[in-house]
Chain A
């Protein structure tokens, strides 16, 4: 069973570029926001290696899906924001490669919830570029609509970079790119396994200073 190549990522990139090009004309100076609240929506591509214990053959799961992230931070120093975030990524019908055969099991899904702390640094307050990273807890859910779902726990670590364009003193819109590494541990049907994933994400972000001044 071959999976048609997903168009979601290219379409998202095109959309982001178009939106940012339009907003760039606003040229509102970048203020320092004490309590930014950010909502990011985009697309992610998951590539996850599943390795059972006991030197048995592993599998690779891959697929693209939507990503949603909500973060709230606090400016602890000029240009440095720290806070917490929740990110959700859902990959429907991921392709599973095992022992040379790739299978797409219809009606299945892989869902990742990340609860993490983050730090975001803006090198130049006059520009919208910001970089950062996060580390936190991963809750990975595998769903089979024919029966059930299972949940495993793990950790997630990410690096990210974004660019914000301010449309007002409180609001900005931007792009956020993230590369996240995940690791989850599971035990199901007497099989203990480790899942190690790489999750690049590209998203459109909306940021608002949640504290009125």
Chain B
């Protein structure tokens, strides 16, 4: 949030003043020790801040790299000028942050001072406030627009489902009450960016009204955009209802990962997310460190978000922590939309790994330590539009293990070392779930076929959470 100075002093003066001339109170200077400086940031750390809870590479001045990554990404949209004032980022304890921000806020950007107070090393929302001050210097629109803008752009691993019950009764209420600044404010700003472009929106932000006055807001809006606020408000909600999703817009400016299966720089500091390549209808096989799940979000924020299951077993001491034992084979929706993942992927490979018939696809070689790391495999398709069909994937298992029914194998998924599902040793999982049947499927090195009976599409085309089929491999032999 961006705290605004109290109007109390101005109110008193206005009662007494004959003419205007009241200055706004200055924001307080935040405390902290300067620990480092980069091209666009100065990093201050509160002496009471417990940096030991941060990963090693984020301690000291380490988070400056992450901040610079965020700047580089967002600058592709907002075009903040180089050589302007640096942003002071204050890493503070929660208590000190709340005290500095006021109003119970757990982070804030002190407007016009380019100071951010937060207990998180990178807080995209507050950074957006600072970026907008640089992109539109001197602008200070109503909080519906400022907070909406801070909510409008960002790369998050969150579903952001639309809930019309949270909507304001009218745009007048939304822009004046302060209750809808983050929710519908974000929706409104995203609608403008998507339909009018980011450059036009920044120009609008530069001159938008400061005061909460519906008539002034509407008149300024229609003069700038040449459309009425009523029309825009109606179109915004119609677009939102049509998609059912309205997530922040991610610049997706980072390069897509090479899909040759070679190790990637999965450091989230330098790659906070990965835009995904155009797969041309093929499937994408991704690996990630232990206990990671895979999320898939639309860069424009209008297509549904979906994410895989994660291997809780990989968080235990039983399984060694490895860099590539979470695996997802995903057939991305063929809607032409650019997507990204915030999962710290370690490899990416492209191929026809998911097919409609067994044995027709390209086998995906699982990582060498997949079984010893208690690997987990997710198979994912566009469950918003594909359902009631059977999909197959073939993987090459590097060593022996078991796929255990009691640790997550669901009844929609079967594994078999051949395509002879339901025959011989390849007993369907539904039978395995029988109390009298063995509780695991033994798997050996070599090809393993996965059969997934994709459930019917849910009403409204919603992705299940988690999405996809999922199998867990362990080294335990019962």
Task: Tell which of B11, B143, B209, B215 touches A96, judged by Cβ atoms closer than 8 Å.
Answer: B215
Contact A149 B223 (CB under 8 A): no
A105 CB–B CB distance under 8 Å: yes
Name the residue of chain B whose CB is nearest to the CB of A56: B219
Question: Please, how many angstroms separate the alpha-carbon atoms of A152 and B63 in the complex?
Answer: 48
The distance in angstroms between the C-alpha atoms of A87 and B243, with both chains bound, is 56
Asked if B312 is at the interface of the complex by the 8 Å CB criterion, the answer is no
Majority secondary structure, A binding face:
strand
User: Are B211 and A113 closer than 8 Å at their CB atoms?
Assistant: no
Smallest CB–CB gap between B75 and chain A, Å?
27
A77, B51: Cα distance in complex, Å:
83
Given A56-B219, A146-B143, A109 and B176 contact (CB-CB distance below 8 Å): no
Report whether A149 and B22 are in contact in the complex, using a CB–CB cutoff of 8 Å: yes
Question: Is there a chain B Cβ closer than 8 Å to A14's Cβ?
Answer: no
Q: Which residues of A contact B10 (CB under 8 A)?
A: 143, 145, 148-149
Contacts of A88 in B (CB 8 A): 15
For the complex, what is the distance from the CA of A52 to the CA of B140, rounded to whole Å? 22
Cβ A191 vs Cβ B7 within 8 A: no
Cα–Cα distance between A88 and B6 once the two chains are bound (Å): 23
| A150 close to B (CB within 8 Å) | yes
CB distance from A74 to the nearest CB of B (A): 22
Residue A2 interfacial (CB < 8 Å): no
Interface string of B185-214 (1 = CB under 8 A from A): 000000000000000000000011111111
Is B53 located at the chain interface by the 8 A CB criterion? Answer: no
B interface size (C-beta, 8 A): 40
Partner of A191, one of B17, B177, B220: B220
B158-198: contact bitstring with A at CB < 8 Å (1 yes, 0 no)? 00000000000010110011100000000000000000000
0 or 1 for each of A168-189: is its CB under 8 Å from B? (1 = yes): 0000000000000000000011
Residue interface bits A139-151, CB-to-B below 8 A is 1, else 0: 1011111111111
- B240 contacts A by Cβ under 8 Å: no
Are B7 and A145 in contact (CB-based, < 8 A)?
yes
Contact partner of B8 among A57, A145, A150, CB < 8 A? A145
Chain A residues close to B by CB (< 8 Å): 1, 50, 52, 54, 56-59, 86, 88, 90, 96, 98-99, 101, 103, 105-109, 111, 113, 115, 139, 141-151, 188-191, 193
Which residues in B have some Cβ–Cβ distance to A below 8 Å?
4, 6-8, 10-11, 14-15, 17-20, 22, 24, 140, 142-143, 170, 172-173, 176-178, 207-216, 218-220, 222-224, 230
Q: State the 3 A-B residue pairs at the shortest beta-carbon distance, nearest first.
A: A145-B7, A59-B215, A151-B20
Taking A98-B218, A105-B214, A143-B11 as known contacts, 4 extra A-B pairs with beta carbons closer than 8 A to each other, sorted by chain A number, are: A108-B211, A143-B10, A145-B10, A193-B219
